[in-house]
Amino acid sequence: MTAPPLDGLRVLDLSRFIAGPLCCQILGDMGAEVIKVERPGGEDSRRNVPHHRGHSLYTLNYNRSKHGITLDTRHPKALGVLEELVRGSDVVVENFRPGTLAKMGLGWERIHELNPRAVLVSISGFGQTGPNRDRALFDAIAQAASGLMSMTGTPDGPPTMAGAFVADHIAAFHGVMGAMMALAARARTGDGQHVDISCLDALFSCMGTLPAAWRMLGEEVGRTGNRDHITVPANAYPTADGYLYLHAGTDALFPRLAAAMGMPELTGDPRFADQEARLVHVEALDDVVRGFTRRHTSERIGALLAAAGVPYSPVNSVAEATDSAQVRARDMMIEVEHPELGTLVLPGLALKLGGTPGSVRKAPPLPGEDNAEVYSRLLGLDADELAALRADGVI
């Protein structure tokens, strides 16, 4: 059997909530040995709703492919344990507020001293530098600060947050990329380095041309609902039984849409002759397309657009997307057997490598599930030493 791409790497996961745990989960799915450290009793997210048989789906969703240990990092005896874990790790991931790790006695300088080859990935709200570095951040705060929230919603409505935690997830992906790049550099130099990931930076990087358009051209685009900013028609249109999003804004795609609607004459209308003209007459063109879509079901319109080669999708509910044939075909929902909870249905692996594929290597651990195995194997602690640490409240 082919070894996964990160086989042989060890990751120390000191993170909580989404960005850090997801970063480590991806590394674990790709073969790294991930040691997740939680305080005794488990991290705060284990109390987040919804729950499955008394366990938070939130925690289960971001912590598979990991070995779970507990350690009270504020206990005086914990630092020595953490230091030994750092000595044996290739990557350390944390998402405390900047400076917290240093206050624990384990800042970057100390980590580099303990293990010069270790890579430290710090994922924080605003980053390790800048005037806002010490401020707390949740996903919607990043959406507000990045400008994304100001762009989301209808022109006459309030700024609106996205329906998913996009900033945390994008920061997690940047954390994975940062770890991989630092490890690639280590292969040449022999030295680890500190990777500084900001949720705000990660989300701001997704704003496309909008920041540059403001700085260089003085242009600022307001909220346009579901309408694309630069091409027309590209919008969510009502159908006889729901909504369907189509994108036919380019000069190559628009004639295909016109033909699919049975209105080839639209291409000869000077208002719709090219992309620039269609942008000027966006309301008129949207009215035409809307008049067509309202008369047909999403399935019927989809068949016409598919035959014409026009990009489209019905606006699916979460249930419809989860149960769709495409998601099933791509194994984006998978079953994982948990020793206590039975069969879990979790998101699959978005990274699909043809030669060295990843896989879910372990069900999400219970708090401290692997204490005995990890502490004995990695630190050489025997049963009496583990019992003493447990009695002192260290683990």
User: What residues are annotated to the active site?
Assistant: 168
Q: How far apart are CA 71 and CA 40, in angstroms?
A: 6
Q: How far apart are CA 61 and CA 195, in angstroms?
A: 25
Q: How far apart are CA 33 and CA 361, in angstroms?
A: 9
Q: How far apart are CA 394 and CA 352, in angstroms?
A: 40
309 token code pair: 């080669």
Calculate helix-pair angle for 166-189, 19-29, nearest 10 degrees: 50
E strands, the chain, where?
10-13, 33-38, 51-52, 55-56, 66-70, 91-94, 119-124, 194-198, 234-239, 242-247, 312-314, 333-338, 342-347
CB 102 within 8 A of CB 128: no
Q: DSSP characters for 100-126? A: HHHHTT--HHHHHHH-TT-EEEEEESS
Burial of 54 (0-12, 13-18, 19+ CB in 10 A): exposed
- Secondary element (H or E) of residue 329: helix 325-329
Q: How far apart are CA 129 and CA 115, in angstroms?
A: 24
CB 277 within 8 A of CB 271: yes
